[in-house]
Structure 1
Amino acid sequence: MVNIQQTSVSVIGPGHLFNGQPNQDAVLVKSVPSGWLAVVCDGMGSKPHADLGSKIACRSVFNIIKNVQFTVESKELITLIYQQWLSSLGNVKANDAVTTCLICWLSHQGELRTFQLGDGLIINSKKELEHSDSNDFGNITTGLGKSKKFSDWQVTQQQMGKGDVIALMTDGISEDINQGAEMEFVNAIAKSIKAKSIRQAKTWLKNEFKTWATPNHTDDKSLALLVINK
């Protein structure tokens, strides 16, 4: 059984706050029968139901992954998630609820599978990623409700170990981090929350995002973090 410390936070950006709009990001970290799941989604700001699209995407991923084997084929998994998302939207048109979708699925044996559609960042302690079925340039300006191609998803699989850190974040965070300093940023957060409870970690991280150092930042900010203890 994999043992982790985890935290997840989503904070509305000053731009949406000023305009009276909702947070269009969504984040979820939950245990599943096969291990742990983290999902971060960013609704496309120009769409009228972007906030709904991202929230439903997180729930759809969880509802599918809790009921399938860790070995499920990537294309089949993504198809199931997309169908669940479409069904859960009800009368809302998919094109009105476009959202990015970043997924990390960690097995009890420490194996990590990641899936990314659209912008944002998935990063972990292992420098070498084992890419499969992926398109390195397919993750830009797309999302659920816009893309119907498996090739638009970036898919990886690799073995993780004790002490490794895994993070998913929306572009409201990743685009403000100096290129090459992303893992340093993630490790600093992991170190800061090490002695904190889940509640304390969330409170601290929310405050960090609300007092974001980048001048004139406007975007929502969401992050999910997993630290493998054993």
Structure 2
Amino acid sequence: MVSIRYLSVSVIGPGHLLNGQPNQDSALVKRVPSGWLAVVCDGMGSKPHSDVGSKQACRAAFDVIRAVDFSIESKALIKRVYQKWLNSLGDIKASDAVTTCLIAWVSDSGKLRTFQLGDGLILTSQQITEHSDTNDFGNITTGLGKSKQFSDWQVTQQQLSLGDVIALMTDGISEDLNQGMELDFANSIVQSTKGKSIRQAKTWLKNEFRNWGTPNHTDDKTLALLVLS
């Protein structure tokens, strides 16, 4: 059975602070019966309840995945997550709570399944990823509440090994990284937080995100990082 070390941090962007808006990103990393789950969601800024949408999407993914077998068919899983999310919104219209949804589900044997709707990035130490169930061209402007097409999801699976890293990040981070340097970025955080307590690691990483190196950055920044140990 694999063990997981993890860290998740979400920091509100300067643009939202300036406008008095909430952080529209959400993240969740939790143990589930079949292994571990990480979810990162980015609410669409133009929508009035995108912060609710992203938070409920994380919760919907957890509620569904903790109750199903790891072998569930991808389309069936996504349908359940989408329905759970719709039900959780109450009186809020889905079109007012649009959010991206990035899911990484790791079994106790180290098998990884990923599901992505909308922009952001999921990466692992394994550079070659087997795509399945869908095309390779995700619609980068879509999300829950906007897309009902299974083909808009990017779905992958791969076998991981001890020491491998999984990172899920919103576009507030991924779009500012030099292409090809994404894994180096994730690995540098793993190294910089080694030996720190979770609290120390979170404090350090939040400080890094608040002092982000890209000039005039405005967006929220959210990262979930898992290491198989």
**Shorter-chain TM-score tier:** over 0.9
Residues 111 and 159 in structure 1, CA contact (< 8 A), matched pair in contact too: yes
- Identity among equivalent positions (%) equals 73
Residues 8 and 27 in structure 1, CA contact (< 8 A), matched pair in contact too: yes
- Note the C-alpha offset of 1:55: 0.3
- Note the C-alpha offset of 1:126: 0.2
- Note the C-alpha offset of 1:197: 1.4
Give the stretch that moved more between structures: 198-207 or 173-182.
Answer: 198-207
Letter in 1 for 2:139: N
4+ residue stretches of structure 1 with deviation over 3 A?
Answer: none
Which runs of 5 or more structure 1 residues have no equivalent in the other structure?
A: none
SS at match of 1:135: coil
**2:203 is aligned with 1:206:** no
SS at match of 2:28: strand
Q: What are the Cα deviations for residues 95-150 of structure 1, in whole angstroms up to 9, with x where unaligned?
A: 00000000000000000000000000000000110100122222310000000000
**2:39 is aligned with 1:39:** yes
Give the stretch that moved more between structures: 21-30 or 132-141.
Answer: 132-141
Measure, in 1, the Cα distance between the counterparts of 2:82 and 2:139: 16
**2:135 is aligned with 1:135:** yes
**2:117 is aligned with 1:124:** no
The residue that corresponds to 1:191 in the other structure is 191
- What TM-score does the superposition give when structure 1 sets the normalisation length? 0.98
Which runs of 5 or more structure 2 residues have no equivalent in the other structure?
A: none
SS at match of 2:131: coil
Give the stretch that moved more between structures: 15-24 or 129-138.
Answer: 129-138
- Note the C-alpha offset of 1:192: 1.0
Measure, in 2, the Cα distance between the counterparts of 1:148 and 1:130: 23
Q: What are the Cα deviations for residues 15-37 of structure 1, in whole angstroms up to 9, with x where unaligned?
A: 00000000000000001110000
**For residues 41-60 of structure 1, what are the structure 2 equivalents within 5 Å?**
41-60=41-60
**2:151 is aligned with 1:147:** no
Q: What are the Cα deviations for residues 137-184 of structure 1, in whole angstroms up to 9, with x where unaligned?
A: 223100000000000000000000001000000000000000110000
Letter in 1 for 2:82: Y
- Note the C-alpha offset of 1:201: 1.1
Letter in 1 for 2:98: V
Number of equivalences: 229
Measure, in 2, the Cα distance between the counterparts of 1:67 and 1:15: 38
Letter in 1 for 2:177: I
Residues 2 and 162 in structure 2, CA contact (< 8 A), matched pair in contact too: no
- What TM-score does the superposition give when structure 2 sets the normalisation length? 0.99
Give the stretch that moved more between structures: 160-169 or 134-143.
Answer: 134-143
SS at match of 1:226: strand
The residue that corresponds to 1:103 in the other structure is 103
Letter in 2 for 1:178: N
Letter in 2 for 1:213: G
Letter in 2 for 1:57: A
The residue that corresponds to 2:21 in the other structure is 21
Residues 44 and 100 in structure 1, CA contact (< 8 A), matched pair in contact too: yes
